[in-house]
Amino acid sequence: MPKVVTSQMLMNASADVKSLEMVNVEKDTNETDEEIKARLRERFNILDDMTRAVKKGTVRAMIVSGPPGVGKSFGVEAVLGKHDTMAQIANNEKLKKYEVVKGAMSALGLYSKLYQYSDAKNILVFDDCDSVLLDDLSLNILKAALDSGKKRMIHWNTDSHMLRREGVPDSFEFKGGCIFITNIKFENVKSKKLRDHLEALESRCHYLDLTIDTEREKVLRIKQIVEDGMLEKYEFENNEVEEILNFIDNNKKKLRELSLRMVLKIADLRKGFPERWQGIASMTCMRRG
Ligand X SMILES: Nc1ncnc2c1ncn2[C@@H]1O[C@H](COP(=O)(O)OP(=O)(O)OP(=O)(O)O)[C@@H](O)[C@H]1O
Footprint on this chain of ligand X (rule: CB under 6 A):
66, 68-74, 128, 183, 225, 230, 260-261, 264
For residues 128 and 170, which CB has a smaller minimum distance to ligand X in the complex? 128
Q: What is the distance between the alpha carbons of residues 68 and 24, in angstroms, rounded to a whole number?
A: 20
- Nearest distance, CB of residue 54 and ligand X, angstroms: 17
Q: How many residues does the chain have?
A: 289
Question: Is residue 173 classed as helix, strand or coil in its secondary structure?
Answer: strand
Of 72-80, 201-209, 224-232, 235-243: span binding Mg ion (CB under 5 A): 72-80
Question: Is residue 21 classed as helix, strand or coil in its secondary structure?
Answer: helix
- Nearest distance, CB of residue 71 and Mg ion, angstroms: 8
Closest-by-Cβ residue to ligand X is 71
- Nearest distance, CB of residue 202 and ligand X, angstroms: 19
- Nearest distance, CB of residue 200 and Mg ion, angstroms: 24
Which ranges of the chain does DSSP label H, i.e. alpha helix? 7-12, 33-56, 72-90, 107-116, 131-134, 136-145, 161-165, 192-202, 215-227, 238-250, 260-272, 277-284
- Out of 45, 73, 106, 131, the residue judged to bind Mg ion by CB under 5 A: 73
For residues 143 and 265, which CB has a smaller minimum distance to Mg ion in the complex? 265
Choose the one of Mg ion, ligand X, none that binds residue 100, judging by a C-beta under 5 to 8 angstroms depending on kind: none
Interface with Mg ion, residue 77, by CB under 5 A: no
- Nearest distance, CB of residue 258 and Mg ion, angstroms: 15
Which distant-in-sequence residues (6+ apart) come within 8 Å of 47 by Cβ? 64, 72, 75, 76, 208, 210
Choose the one of Mg ion, ligand X, none that binds residue 68, judging by a C-beta under 5 to 8 angstroms depending on kind: ligand X
State the number of binding residues for Mg ion (CB under 5 A): 1
Interface with Mg ion, residue 45, by CB under 5 A: no
For residues 40 and 168, which CB has a smaller minimum distance to ligand X in the complex? 40
Q: In this structure, what are the phi and psi dihedrals at residue 85, rounded to the nearest 5 degrees?
A: -60, -40
* Contact yes or no for 207/88 (Cβ under 8 A): no
Look at residues 135, 145, 210 and name the one whose alpha carbon lies nearest to residue 178: 145
Dump the DSSP string for 55-118.
Answer: HHTS--EEEEE--TTSSHHHHHHHHHHHHHHHHHHHT-TTS--EEEEES---HHHHHHHHHHT-
- Nearest distance, CB of residue 269 and ligand X, angstroms: 16
Choose the one of ligand X, Mg ion, none that binds residue 261, judging by a C-beta under 5 to 8 angstroms depending on kind: ligand X
For residues 22 and 230, which CB has a smaller minimum distance to ligand X in the complex? 230
By CB under 5 A, name the binding residues for Mg ion: 73
